[in-house]
Amino acid sequence: GKKDPGIPNSLPDKELILKEAEKRKLQQEQEKERQKERRKFEREKLRNKKRNLDTLVQEALKKQKVFENKKATQPKNTSSQNGGKPLENSLKCFYKEFRKVVDKADVILEVLDARDPLGSRCHEVEQSVLSSGTNKKLVLLLNKIDLVPRENVEAWLKYLRNEFPTLPIKASTQSQIENLSQSKLDISSITDELYKSSHCLGAEMLMNLLRNYCRTAGFKMAINVGVVGFPNTGKSSIINSLKRCKSCNVGATPGVTRMMQEVQLDKHIKLLDSPGVVMAQGKSDVAQILRNVVKIETLPDPIEAVDSIVNRCNKEQLMLHYNIVDYQDVREFLALLATRLGKLNKGGIPNVNKAARIVLQDWVSGKITYYTHPPEHCDLPSYVSAEIVTTMSKAFDIESIKPQENQVLDSKLVNTLFML
């Protein structure tokens, strides 16, 4: 192209034009600089927006530590940590009632949580039952089978039956507003809505097992059946389902079933409902908390129990369940969760204690997916002999209720949660 000749010297306002051109050039450069700054600012803004929550949490954790260090220097108020009620008296009362049930019962149903049968099993209870009389029989009920895959239920049934007769059951839930109706075993007609409501799967099977025992043992009068287990394994819910009406006080608060109640089911069977078994000796505080023996709102430090949950559960599942990013330990997990839920203290510090209580509540209500696998080998406890195993098995004739059991386990509803 042709070279720009510039501004001819002959123009009268040459100097003015040059100044204008210089001014325009300066304005253009300034505008370019402003645009550059704007772009830089936008990039920074975008970077901050995309900035990993991890970093923010790390900063918040530092603040949290400072906050906790300050708190640690202050005197603690422990007067209300156990709800103002002496724990020892409460435990003695529970144990006394439990003894009444064991002494009066001919058959004891020990209710286990299908997610963790060994963790919800109480060997002291079993020992107590077996040592209190040769004619007393023990049956294990694997409750909440809707919360674990079918294969897992079958594996546990096989394992536990090496020791005691064991039945799978899905007791009625706590949303028992109207009269309960137990589901007969026409499983094909059961819808998801029905399954998730207050209906019981396996109730008829349990009744048949108890009737079998009445026949084989030759009982002329009604047998007394005791129902025992840790709090919230579903003892009262099982009785309510069988009775078809709300006969026992049911709730997610530990120890809501206080005194022994008798529930007549039919002319053959009378159920005794015991309070939740609370065994303090040899059990860690964390174990008690995870079994919902201790009230969550009264815990001075809920983080240790959540640490146990975090270590037990699949990390990816927890991340998906709570919609949080990867974490290194329980404190970071809780800080991320508190931040996501908006549970913050002054200065934007995550309230990890509040987050911990939410996690514990989710745990005891079954919202967190978790289940254990049975050990490869079954070693009989010292108080269970091969003779006891054979006697118990013959008395209840488990084989006779196998068709009903298969119908319960074949139900697509029992497996719905695990087809996703």
Domains in the chain, CATH or no CATH each: 87-282+383-418 (3.40.50.300)
> CA 227, 232, 233: angle at the middle one, nearest 5?
55
Residue position matching structure tokens 């007769």: 165
SS3 379: coil
H-type helices in 278-366, by residue range?
285-290, 303-312, 315-322, 330-341, 352-364
Q: What are the CA-CA distances from residue 76 to residues 72, 73, 80, 300 (Å)?
A: 8, 9, 11, 10
The model's confidence at residue 193, banded by pLDDT at 50, 70 and 90, is very low
- Kindly report which listed range (10-19, 102-111, 344-353, 372-381) carries the lowest average pLDDT score: 10-19
Cα dihedral across residues 410, 414, 417, 418: positive or negative: negative
Q: Which helix (H) or strand (E) holds 226?
A: strand 223-228
Return mean pLDDT, the chain.
76
Put the strands of the sheet holding 261-264 in their side by side order: 166-168, 137-143, 107-113, 223-228, 269-273, 261-264
Specify the higher pLDDT residue, 337 or 383. 337
Sequence-separated (6 or more) residues with CB below 8 Å from residue 293: 230, 231, 254, 276, 278
Q: Which helix (H) or strand (E) holds 272?
A: strand 269-273
The beta-strand segments (E) located in 52-135 are 107-113
The whole-angstrom distance between residue 284's C-alpha and the CA centroid of its chain comes to 18
Helix axis angle for 203-217 and 235-243, nearest 10°, is: 80
Backbone angles phi, psi at 84, to 5 degrees: 75, 10
- Give 22-53 pLDDT, tens digit per residue: 888 888 888 888 888 888 877 776 666 555 55
What pLDDT score was predicted for residue 312? 83
Whether the pLDDT of residue 73 is over 80: the answer is no
The model's confidence at residue 190, banded by pLDDT at 50, 70 and 90, is very low
The Cα–Cα gap between 277 and 92 comes to 11
Whether the pLDDT of residue 420 is over 50: the answer is no
What pLDDT score was predicted for residue 245? 42
The model's confidence at residue 159, banded by pLDDT at 50, 70 and 90, is very high
Q: What are the CA-CA distances from residue 29 to residues 15, 22, 33, 36, 104 (Å)?
A: 21, 11, 6, 10, 96
What pLDDT score was predicted for residue 246? 41
The Cα–Cα gap between 272 and 268 comes to 14
Most confident of 137-146, 232-241, 366-375: 137-146
Q: What are the CA-CA distances from residue 254 to residues 94, 97, 147, 293, 356 (Å)?
A: 11, 15, 20, 5, 18
> CA 142, 106, 264: angle at the middle one, nearest 5?
80
Amino acid at 395: A
DSSP letter assigned to residue 222: P
What pLDDT score was predicted for residue 84? 45
